[in-house]
Amino acid sequence: MEFPIIHTNIWDGMIAVPVIVILTQCFKIFPIPSKYYPTIASVLGFAISIFISHRGHIWAGIFMGGFYSTAAVGTYASLKTTIIAIKKKQAKKRRTAT
């Protein structure tokens, strides 16, 4: 078995990951429990990678789909954690100022 040659480009980090984050956020209009959002991001990542980014190379699509989806989930988690930390810090400042 020969391993596929996988080329990474601007699509990988600058377009695919934010698209997956945005599409996953669009699913929040439906009554879906939040525990399923990482799974939705994974499905979207694999679909984008297999059917758009790496057409004709199923193994490259599967491999890179894993990276797309985990990068999207990690990006969302870090942004959410940062926002929560900033809100807590601001609330603490307001409590000590009054």
Number of folded domains that form the chain = 1
Q: Among all chains, which residue has been given the structure tokens 């698209």? A: 19
* C-alpha span between 70 and 31 (Å, rounded): 23
Q: What is the pTM of this model?
A: 0.79
Asked whether residue 3 is domain-assigned, the answer is no
Asked whether residue 4 is domain-assigned, the answer is no
pLDDT digits (tens, 9 = 90+) for 12-29: 778 899 999 999 999 999
For helices 58-97 and 37-48, angle between their N-to-C axes, nearest 10 degrees: 140
pLDDT digits (tens, 9 = 90+) for 34-51: 899 999 999 999 999 999
Q: Which residue has the higher pLDDT, 38 or 56?
A: 38
* C-alpha span between 63 and 49 (Å, rounded): 9
Asked whether residue 34 is domain-assigned, the answer is yes
Asked whether residue 49 is domain-assigned, the answer is yes
* C-alpha span between 82 and 55 (Å, rounded): 36
